[in-house]
Amino acid sequence: MKTANLTILGSTGTIGVNTLDVVGRHGARYRVYALSANRNVDGLFEQCRQWNPCYAVMVEEDAAARLDARCREAGLEVEVLAGAEALAMIASHDEVDYVMAGIVGAAGLLPNLAAARAGKRVMLANKESLVMSGRLFMDAVRDSGAELLPIDSEHNAVFQCMPADFRRGLESVGVERILLTASGGPFRTAALETLERVTPAQACAHPNWVMGRKISVDSATMMNKGLEVIEACWLFDTAPEQVDVVIHPQSVIHSMVQYVDGSVLAQLGNPDMRTPIAYSLAWPERCASGVDTLDLFRVRQLDFEEPDYARFPCLRLAKEAMSAGGTAPAILNAANEVAVAAFLDETIGFTDIPRLVERALSRVSARPADDLETILADDAAARRVADEAIAAGAI
């Protein structure tokens, strides 16, 4: 079996750490070729020492300089680089076979697009790439012959429940609907009047999953699920009306596919990101992930609820943005990134997040998302609107 060379974008984050855990279980099957991080010098240095990659990339120049000094001192033969161009290089390098796209937010768009254009197996954990530039990204995958495998547990579950030839059209293979499950986050049953007083610590305390702070807040607002609806539309070439969100508090069923004959296929498992990571690394085969087998007798009960749009306005805003099309999803995502960062810094309140997003959507006019320059310009415009509103206290 040929050893696959692997680049991990965002290797010190949750997805990156879990990817290395899975890779470490399979010896010579995978080689860690390149790693990247934003500013976590200590974390990336330890990974370089353990995995000895050819390249290590940091987003920030000063962080890269500190990492390079430590690698040289330790006698590691790792080439340390910095910046967006270096990220794109390790994602598209001729020696690389697989790219784990684990950078959070819009920062992952350019290297992920570079990997897609280079025809790599792109294991996509960064939903913003499709939210911002779905048509451009899917065109790049098609034109280059890249393999696109979703890492989000929901989309990975849908992928597993789809027929192998689903890309020739869902209607032609008998698929009627996609059912994306959602835990409902930590505030599923909280009194609505208490949400204004939610703290970052409370929002990041997800009941089922261990995730980074940004995605944890997105799960609490259910913007994460809204972004996943947009992502599902691009991944599976379907309309928003054919994607339903189902609240499932146990997070055991990761998503479902409904067929025209009345069948509903579901993928079940313990809530652990190593399952979709292992699936995507080994596809079309399977390999051990280190995840415990699901014990249905211990689970005992599975519950389902309809989403409450009054409680989760971000879910409504995301669906409206996808229906509007063009750069509207990029505007939505940009304003949300600014709002979540401000909430985590305790500059705004929890319920201000959807207000900021809605403000940006109303102030920045969406345009056809025909090129990357237009997408990035509207992304920047939405960030300015959100930043100015925060600075002026006009939320």
Q: Are residues 113 and 204 in the same domain?
A: no
What percent of the chain has a predicted confidence (pLDDT) above 90?
93
Task: Say if 279 falls within a structural domain.
Answer: no
Task: Say if 280 falls within a structural domain.
Answer: no
Task: Say if 155 falls within a structural domain.
Answer: no
Domain end position, chosen among 150, 180, 208: 150
Q: Are residues 18 and 128 in the same domain?
A: yes
Out of 44-48, 136-140, 241-245, 390-394, least confident range: 390-394
Q: Is the pLDDT of residue 73 over 90?
A: yes
Q: Are residues 176 and 259 in the same domain?
A: yes
What CATH number does the domain containing 336 carry?
A: 1.10.1740.10
Instruction: Give how many domains the chain has, as a whole number.
Output: 3
> What's the pLDDT tens digit per position in 158-215?
999 999 999 999 999 999 999 999 999 899 999 999 999 999 999 998 777 667 789 8
Task: Say if 299 falls within a structural domain.
Answer: yes
Report the pLDDT value the prediction gives residue 210, as an integer from 0 to 100.
Answer: 67
- The separation between CA 296 and the C-alpha centre of its own chain, rounded to angstroms, equals 28
Assign 3-class secondary structure to the chain: CCCEEEEEECCCCHHHHHHHHHHCCCHHHEEEEEEEECCCHHHHHHHHHHHCCCEEEECCHHHHHHHHHHHHHCCCCCEEEECHHHHHHHHHCCCCCEEEECCCCHHHHHHHHHHHHCCCEEEECCCHHHHHHHHHHHHHHHHHCCEEEECCHHHHHHHHHCCCCHHHCCHHHCEEEEEEEECCHHHCCCCHHHHHHCCHHHHCCCCCCCCCHHHHHHHHHCHHHHHHHHHHHHHCCCCHHHEEEEECCCCCEEEEEEECCCCEEEEECCCCCHHHHHHHHHCCCCCCCCCCCCCHHHHCCCCCECCCCCCCHHHHHHHHHHHHCCCHHHHHHHHHHHHHHHHHCCCCCCCHHHHHHHHHHHHCCCCCCCCHHHHHHHHHHHHHHHHHHHHHCCC
Report the pLDDT value the prediction gives residue 105, as an integer from 0 to 100.
Answer: 80
Domain end position, chosen among 260, 277, 310: 310
Mean pLDDT of 384-389: 97
Q: Are residues 136 and 101 in the same domain?
A: yes
Mean pLDDT of 23-49: 96
Task: Say if 275 falls within a structural domain.
Answer: no
Q: What is the pTM of this model?
A: 0.92
CB atoms within 10 A of CB 70: 19
Report the pLDDT value the prediction gives residue 211, as an integer from 0 to 100.
Answer: 73
Q: Are residues 27 and 107 in the same domain?
A: yes
Report the pLDDT value the prediction gives residue 2, as an integer from 0 to 100.
Answer: 87
Task: Say if 315 falls within a structural domain.
Answer: no
Domain boundaries, position 385: 325-395
pLDDT band, very low/low/confident/very high, at 28 (cuts 50, 70, 90): confident
Lay out the sheet containing 253-259: strands in order across: 243-247, 175-182, 253-259, 264-268
Q: Are residues 224 and 361 in the same domain?
A: no
Q: Are residues 232 and 350 in the same domain?
A: no
Q: Are residues 168 and 215 in the same domain?
A: yes
Domain end position, chosen among 150, 174, 207: 150
Q: Are residues 21 and 58 in the same domain?
A: yes
Q: Are residues 306 and 193 in the same domain?
A: yes
What CATH number does the domain containing 27 carry?
A: 3.40.50.720
> What's the pLDDT tens digit per position in 317-342?
999 999 999 999 999 999 999 999 99
Task: Say if 277 falls within a structural domain.
Answer: no
Report the pLDDT value the prediction gives residue 346, as an integer from 0 to 100.
Answer: 96
Q: Are residues 172 and 139 in the same domain?
A: no
> What's the pLDDT tens digit per position in 108-140?
999 999 999 999 999 999 888 999 999 999 999
Q: Is the pLDDT of residue 107 over 90?
A: no
Q: Are residues 136 and 21 in the same domain?
A: yes
Mean pLDDT of 360-388: 97
Mean pLDDT of 10-29: 95
More confident residue, 28 or 23: 23
Report the pLDDT value the prediction gives residue 127, as an integer from 0 to 100.
Answer: 87
Task: Say if 340 falls within a structural domain.
Answer: yes
- Whether 186 and 206 have beta carbons less than 8 Å apart is answered as yes
Report the pLDDT value the prediction gives residue 375, as an integer from 0 to 100.
Answer: 96
